[in-house]
Chains A and B, each alone.
Chain A
Amino acid sequence: GQNIDQPTEMTATEGAIVQINCTYQTSGFNGLFWYQQHAGEAPTFLSYNVLDGLEEKGRFSSFLSRSKGYSYLLLKELQMKDSASYLCASVDSNYQLIWGAGTKLIIKP
């Protein structure tokens, strides 16, 4: 079956760095997305990886290892506004998105 695993909840301190991991098992692979979702709001696009390696976008970076079925989202210089859920989604062979349940990130001052 198809499966996306990510931690349910993580806590980090303002100004610190946090890494949110995601492992995936899907029928085929055509890329991996990360979305951010603040409580009560819609998910918004953060990053897309289709090749192995690290993609950096300001304070956020996303890493992919296709051989390991593994990705992570790295958030640097954490701010209170980064408190949100982070959703990992893999694109399968039919170009359908398979979503993880999300990681709720709590930032403490």
Chain B
Amino acid sequence: DAGITQSPRYKITETGRQVTLMCHQTWSHSYMFWYRQDLGHGLRLIYYSAAADITDKGEVPDGYVVSRSKTENFPLTLESATRSQTSVYFCASSLKVDGANVLTFGAGSRLTVL
């Protein structure tokens, strides 16, 4: 299916474990993003990527690692999960619409760290 897909949709893990959230887009958009969404906060940017092999930190990168070996994939890894990383994670890609760089989001990955 065309679009942006995230997996897994739901994940429960334990403190200290490594977790990888997958993101795949079929549009060949250059820019991709990872956000986390927590109650009482706006979406917060973790990492973004302008193209394959180009990644950059966002507002809250600590504890996360990303890679982008192929344009269509942008996985997010929590190397050693902490309870504070319990959140809903959204992957997005950017499309130009009437001059604006509009984000299209995946369905989200809800992560619980026990």
Contact surface of A with B, Cβ cutoff 8 Å: 4, 31, 33, 35, 41-45, 48, 50, 87, 89, 95-102
Supply 16 A–B pairs (Cβ within 8 Å), ascending by A: A4-B42, A41-B108, A42-B106, A42-B107, A42-B108, A44-B105, A45-B97, A45-B102, A48-B102, A96-B45, A96-B58, A97-B43, A97-B45, A97-B103, A99-B42, A100-B42
On whether the beta carbons of A101 and B41 are closer than 8 Å, the reply is yes
A29 to B100, CA, bound (A): 13
On whether the beta carbons of B97 and A43 are closer than 8 Å, the reply is no
A-B contact sample (10 more), CB < 8 A, given A4-B42, A50-B99, A89-B42:
A41-B108, A43-B43, A43-B90, A45-B97, A48-B98, A97-B43, A99-B42, A101-B40, A101-B41, A101-B42
Please name all residues of chain B whose beta carbon is closer than 8 Å to the beta carbon of A98 when the two chains form the complex: 42
Contact count A vs B, C-beta below 8 Å: 46
Task: Write the chain B residue with the least CB distance to A49.
Answer: B100
Please name all residues of chain A whose beta carbon is closer than 8 Å to the beta carbon of B103 when the two chains form the complex: 35, 43, 45, 97
Least distance between A84 CB and chain B CB atoms (Å): 14
Q: How large is the interface on B (under 10, 10 to 19, 20 to 34, 35 or more residues)?
A: 20 to 34
Please name all residues of chain A whose beta carbon is closer than 8 Å to the beta carbon of B40 when the two chains form the complex: 101
Contact surface of B with A, Cβ cutoff 8 Å: 40-45, 58, 90, 97-108
Decide: A87 near B43, CB < 8 A? Known: A31-B100, A42-B90, A48-B100: yes
A89 to B99, CA, bound (A): 16
Most central of B40, B103, B106, B108 by chain A CB within 10 Å: B103
Task: Write the chain A residue with the least CB distance to B90.
Answer: A42
Please name all residues of chain A whose beta carbon is closer than 8 Å to the beta carbon of B100 when the two chains form the complex: 31, 33, 48, 50
